[in-house]
Amino acid sequence: MSQTVTAAMIVIGDEILSGRTKDRNVGHLAEILTAVGIDLTEVRIVADDAAAIGEAVNALRARNTYVFTSGGIGPTHDDITAEAVAAALGLPCAVDAAADALLAEHYARRGIDYTEARRRMARMPRGATHIANPVSAAPGFRIANVHVMAGVPAIFQAMLDAVLPTLRTGARLLSETVPCPFPEGTIGAPLAAIQTAHPDTIIGSYPKYDDGRFWTEIVVRSRDGAALATARAAVEAMVAGLSQTD
């Protein structure tokens, strides 16, 4: 089995914690990372608060290959992610000359004032490299193993597309789903026995509830295709056996 590559995500924004805005970036990042064989190990949603951001950055970057943040990199006073990440890494945060030139040119071409507020978006920790923003020019950035990206979903997704080719990817965790017409309580014991007998797989059981009826999605995952197929067959045989005796 090849070495695993892990990631964590930090969603930054009071508006998510108040319920005003429903996050759409966690699910997108989770799907994309899974597809390329990077395991998302943890997500934290924190407020627009430098200490909270810094604590999350330092806790998660130490134990993951990569960290991704979303939110707080715009031009207003509540956009503090760049400063907070710089402080967490013990780096100065200042206007990046290349980002400054990029933004000045972007706004000049559109006849829009390049205000001091907009210039805040050129600030990043010293040594950061840009993450291209094809939507509104203001770059995200990467510093150490931390990728700082926008909160607006269209921009977050475009930035992630730009970042993906730069990431080390792992062996993809393969996944197969077996629908099961029985509730979890019926299959709990035999499914646990199958999990024990197939240690190279991770077997998950997800209760579903539709129209007053419980059923279960059983998901078998593994980085080893043969192990996956064997465990899946065992799960299917269990479901078929229960169906016959029902």
Among positions 174-213, residues that touch its own copies (CB under 8 A) are 175, 184-189, 191-192, 195, 202-209
Among 8-16, 87-95, 141-149, 233-241, the segment contacting its own copies (CB under 8 A) = 8-16
Of 22 and 127, the one with the shorter C-beta distance to its own copies is 22
Contact between 20 and its own copies (CB under 8 A)?
A: yes
- The pair of structure tokens assigned to 234 is 């065992």
Of 98 and 117, the one with the shorter C-beta distance to its own copies is 117
Of 15 and 91, the one with the shorter C-beta distance to its own copies is 15
Closest contact distance (angstroms) between CB of 143 and its own copies is: 23
Closest contact distance (angstroms) between CB of 240 and its own copies is: 19
Three-state secondary structure along the chain? Answer: CCCCEEEEEEEECHHHHCCCCCCCHHHHHHHHHHHCCEEEEEEEEECCCHHHHHHHHHHHHHCCCEEEEECCCCCCCCCCHHHHHHHHCCCCEEECHHHHHHHHHHHHHCCCCCCHHHHHHHEEECCCEEECCCCCCCCEEEECCEEEECCCHHHHHHHHHHHHHHCCCCCCCEEEEEEECCCHHHHHHHHHHHHHHCCCCEEEEEEEEECCEEEEEEEEEECCHHHHHHHHHHHHHHHHHHHHHC
Of 125 and 151, the one with the shorter C-beta distance to its own copies is 151
Residues 52-111 interacting with its own copies (rule: CB under 8 A)? 52, 74-79, 107
Of 41 and 91, the one with the shorter C-beta distance to its own copies is 41
Among 5, 16, 85, 89, binds its own copies (CB under 8 A): 16
Residues 117-146 interacting with its own copies (rule: CB under 8 A)? 117-118, 120-121, 135-136
Among 4, 30, 36, 224, binds its own copies (CB under 8 A): 30
176 phi-psi bin (left φ>0, alpha ψ -120 to 50, beta other): beta
Of 4 and 127, the one with the shorter C-beta distance to its own copies is 4
Among 9-17, 92-100, 125-133, 233-241, the segment contacting its own copies (CB under 8 A) = 9-17
Of 192 and 237, the one with the shorter C-beta distance to its own copies is 192
First-to-final CA distance of the chain: 40
Closest contact distance (angstroms) between CB of 108 and its own copies is: 13
Among 3, 92, 97, 113, binds its own copies (CB under 8 A): 113
CB atoms within 10 A of CB 132: 14
